[in-house]
Structure 1
Amino acid sequence: MKARLGVCALVLLFLAGLWLVASPFVVGYQPPGASYTAATVNNLWVGGGLAGLSFVTLVLYAADALRELTTRGKHSAADS
């Protein structure tokens, strides 16, 4: 149960990071063709960092879960 909650939180953080990156262009407070405003630069850095960090954490969690499943499979085959 705790693992599911953690994965859900990481997915939500990843999506929030993607939204922060896209929001200046979707909402329209970054004029097309203009230099990036301070708010846009902030959204790009914070959103990119949040999305990147949560993605790396999700990959590490998946690798750990796969390693655990592989270890369980080896032990089950040895017990047979």
Structure 2
Amino acid sequence: MTENLQNTAASAPTATPSEGRAAARVAEPLNVLDKVGMGILSLLGLSGLWMMLAPFLVGFQNRGADWTASTTNDFVVGLVLAVLSLAAVVTVLGGGLAAVARTAQQRAAHEDA
């Protein structure tokens, strides 16, 4: 049994110090803070959608009637909130995709050299 353990330990791949440093340099496209921020922005977007729809779903706005000032206010504020949070989520995702593209370019340049 000790021979099996020795054989598996001897056959295990070992990383050279330069490979370890290269692995440490690879940036994660979206870190935990980005993911939490995207979650919060998604909740804000859903809140905006709720603000837009609430007067109609809850019954504050009668069907076929002209919109009241509060319905117009809820709809406009909800629309702005939803659009801004969507734009922020797209921006964060774009930053993550840019990091992925940079990492791929660095790896390709490193492999070519």
Q: Say whether the fold is shared (TM-score over 0.5).
A: yes
TM superposition score normalised by structure 1: 0.94
TM superposition score normalised by structure 2: 0.68
Q: Which runs of 4+ in 1 moved over 6 A?
A: none
* C-alpha deviation, 1:10, in angstroms: 0.5
Kindly name which structure, 1 or 2, has the bigger radius of gyration based on alpha carbons.
2
1 or 2 for the larger relative contact order (CA 8 Å, sep ≥6)?
A: 1
Sequence identity of aligned pairs in percent?
Answer: 36
Provide the aligned length of Structure 1 versus Structure 2: 80
**Structure 1 unmatched runs, 5+:** none
* C-alpha deviation, 1:64, in angstroms: 1.3
Aligned match of 1:70: 101
Aligned match of 2:74: 43
Aligned match of 1:30: 61
Higher helix fraction (1 or 2): 1
